[in-house]
A and B are shown apart, each in its own frame.
Chain A
Amino acid sequence: MNLPHESSRPFPPTRLSVISLARSEDAATRRRAHESIIAAYWKPVYTYLRLRWRAEPADAEDLAQGFFADAIDSTLFDRYDPTRARFRTYLRTCVDGFVANARKAAGRQKRGGDVLHVPLDFTTAEGEVRTLEIPSPEDPDRLFRDAWVRRLFELALEDTRAQCEADGKGAHFRIFERYDLEPRDADTRLTYDDLAREFELPVTQVTNFLALARRRFRTAVLDHVRALTTDDDEFRAEVRDLLGEGFGD
Chain B
Amino acid sequence: MDPLSNATVRHLQALVELPDTSGTRYDVVEPIARGGMGIVYRAHDRELNRDVALKVLSVRETGDEVRARLLTEAHILAHLEHPGIVPVHDVGVLADGRTYYAMKLVRGSSLADYARAHPERGELLRVFGRVCEAVAFAHARGIVHRDLKPENIMVGAYGEVLVMDWGVAKLLGSANGSPQAPGTVAPGGAPVTASGTVVGTPGFMPPEQERGDSTCVDARSDVFALGRLLEVLVGADGSPAPGRLRAIVARATASDPASRYPDADSLAADVTRFSTGQAVSAYRESWWERGRRLALRHRVAITLVSAYVLMRVLIFLVNRF
Give me the interface of A with B, judged by CB distance under 8 Å.
Answer: 3, 124, 127-128, 131-133, 149-150, 153-154, 157-158, 180-183, 207-208, 211, 214-215, 217-219, 221-222, 232, 235-236, 239-240, 242-243, 247-248
Contacts and interface: CB of A to CB of B under 8 A. Distances in A.
Contact of A131 (B3, B13, B96): B3
Contacts of A154: 1, 4
B4 A180 contact: no
A150 B16 contact: no
Interface residues of B, number: 26
Contact of A218 (B4, B16, B22): B16
B22 A157 contact: no
B62 interface: yes
B33 to A, nearest CB: 16
B6 A243 contact: no
Given A215-B95, A243-B13, A247-B9, A235 B60 contact: yes
B63 interface: yes
Contact of A236 (B11, B22, B61): B61
B223 to A, nearest CB: 33
Given A180-B15, A217-B15, A248-B9, 18 more contacts: A3-B1, A131-B3, A132-B3, A133-B5, A149-B13, A150-B3, A153-B9, A153-B12, A183-B5, A211-B20, A211-B95, A214-B15, A215-B95, A218-B16, A218-B59, A232-B62, A247-B6, A248-B6
A124 B58 CA distance: 34
Interface in B1-49: 1, 3-13, 15-18, 20, 22
19 contacts: A127-B3, A128-B3, A132-B5, A149-B9, A150-B3, A180-B8, A181-B4, A182-B8, A211-B22, A214-B15, A215-B20, A217-B15, A222-B59, A222-B62, A236-B60, A240-B60, A243-B16, A243-B17, A247-B9
Interface of B: 1, 3-13, 15-18, 20, 22, 58-63, 95-96
A181 B12 CA distance: 8
Nearest 6 interchain pairs by C-beta: A239-B60, A248-B6, A211-B22, A236-B60, A128-B3, A183-B7
Nearest to A176: B15
A120 to B, nearest CB: 16
Contact of B8 (A183, A207, A215): A183
B165 to A, nearest CB: 20
Contacts of A240: 60
Nearest to A132: B3
